[in-house]
């Protein structure tokens, strides 16, 4: 496949921190891409390869991730949403469509509910719509300790582990994925110690066209078919696209299908 060009690096002041990221540029409509916990902006590389010819992709590192600032505090959903709004302002983005995965999907949903006038639409890739029971589970609370072990690994070891644990992922994913893990600061897990975010309330308040992309819970996806149907019934602006046979990282397993769903949704929002 063709090499991935993430475009130009940027560093801008946003909401009291410095945000680092990548921007493909060009004259196309803007997209703001928000990654998941312990990923970084470069983890959108394969989607950038699919869309950069037609869209201006902005791919920031969330606070505590990649090369963005890592303050001691400030890792709540509200902080990440404020960061996203500040980045839209700093880069003068004209109502981008926001695409978010997992943690970034929850942030994108909050942005679509809290500041719909700032964006045109949202795509949520298996967002972190976690139930109160799972939010308090010992397994989730162990993620911080697991990440401490990850930080002690060499990049080559992490790539090998990723390939062994996620054989369905596209092979191009692993080098960037491994580097993102080693760059993610332990402070980002403070989010998991905070009170549960009511994703049901957030979803009902979404006020822009939104595409929820789901996978299979038995393969690691968060959103079940029943939850997706209930969310869709609660808000007429929310549509659901199910990708069979994939887990939580849908675009890693089926990059072309995810890109196709994204293109179809974007064409409607930007009237391309």
260 belongs to a structural domain: yes
Mean pLDDT lowest among 189-198, 231-240, 244-253: 189-198
Instruction: Give residue 1's pLDDT.
Output: 45
256 belongs to a structural domain: yes
Mean pLDDT lowest among 74-78, 121-125, 133-137, 156-160: 133-137
3 belongs to a structural domain: no
Whether the per-residue pLDDT at 272 is higher than 80: the answer is no
Over residues 236-242, the mean pLDDT reads: 98
Question: What CATH number has the domain bearing residue 66?
Answer: 3.40.50.1820
- 101-121 pLDDT per residue, tens: 999 999 999 999 999 999 999
Q: Calculate the average pLDDT of the chain.
A: 95
91 belongs to a structural domain: yes
| Structural domain containing residue 49 | 8-270
Flag whether the pTM goes above 0.85.
Answer: yes
SS (H, E, C) the chain: CCCCCCCEEEEEEECCEEEEEEECCCCCCEEEEECCCCCCHHHHHHHHHHHCCCCEEEEECCCCCCCCCCCCCCCCHHHHHHHHHHHHHHCCCCCCEEEEECHHHHHHHHHHHHCHHHCCEEEEECCCCCCHHHHCCHHHHCHHHHHHHHHCCCHHHHHHHHHHHCCCCCHHHHHHHHHHHHHCCHHHHHHHHCCCCCHHHHHHHCCCCEEEEECCHHHCCCCCHHHHHHHHHHCCCEEEEECCCCCCCHHHHCHHHHHHHHHHHHHHHHCC
155 belongs to a structural domain: yes
2 belongs to a structural domain: no
Q: How confident is the model at residue 139 (pLDDT cuts 50, 70, 90)?
A: confident
- 31-89 pLDDT per residue, tens: 999 999 999 999 999 999 999 999 999 999 999 999 999 999 999 999 999 999 999 99
Instruction: Give residue 90's pLDDT.
Output: 97
24 belongs to a structural domain: yes
126 belongs to a structural domain: yes
Instruction: Give residue 137's pLDDT.
Output: 85
Q: What domain count does the chain have? A: 1
């Amino acid at each position: 496949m063709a090499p991935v060009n993430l475009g130009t690096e940027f560093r801008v002041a946003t909401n009291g921190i410095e945000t680092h990221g990548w921007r493909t540029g060009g004259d196309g409509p803007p997209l703001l891409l928000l990654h998941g916990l312990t990923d970084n902006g470069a983890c959108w590389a394969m989607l950038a390869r699919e869309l950069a010819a037609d869209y201006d992709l902005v791919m920031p590192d969330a606070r505590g991730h990649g090369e963005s600032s890592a303050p001691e505090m400030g890792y709540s959903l509200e902080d990440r949403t404020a960061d996203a709004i500040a980045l839209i302002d700093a880069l003068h983005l004209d109502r981008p469509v926001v695409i978010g995965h997992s943690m970034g999907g929850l942030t994108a949903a909050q942005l679509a509910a809290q500041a719909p006038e700032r964006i045109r639409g949202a795509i949520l890739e298996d967002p972190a719509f976690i139930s109160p029971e799972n939010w308090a589970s010992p397994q989730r609370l162990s993620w911080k300790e697991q990440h401490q072990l990850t930080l002690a690994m060499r990049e080559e070891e992490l790539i090998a582990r990723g390939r062994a644990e996620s054989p369905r992922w596209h092979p191009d994913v692993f080098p960037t994925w491994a580097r993102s893990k080693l760059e993610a600061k332990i402070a980002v897990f403070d989010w998991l110690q905070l009170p549960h975010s009511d994703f049901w309330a957030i979803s009902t308040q979404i006020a822009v066209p939104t595409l929820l992309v789901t996978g299979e819970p038995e393969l690691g996806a968060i959103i079940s078919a029943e939850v997706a149907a209930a969310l869709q019934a609660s808000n007429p602006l929310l549509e659901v696209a199910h990708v069979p046979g994939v887990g939580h990282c849908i675009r890693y397993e089926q990059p072309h299908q995810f890109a196709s769903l994204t293109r179809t949704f974007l064409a409607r929002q930007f009237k391309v």
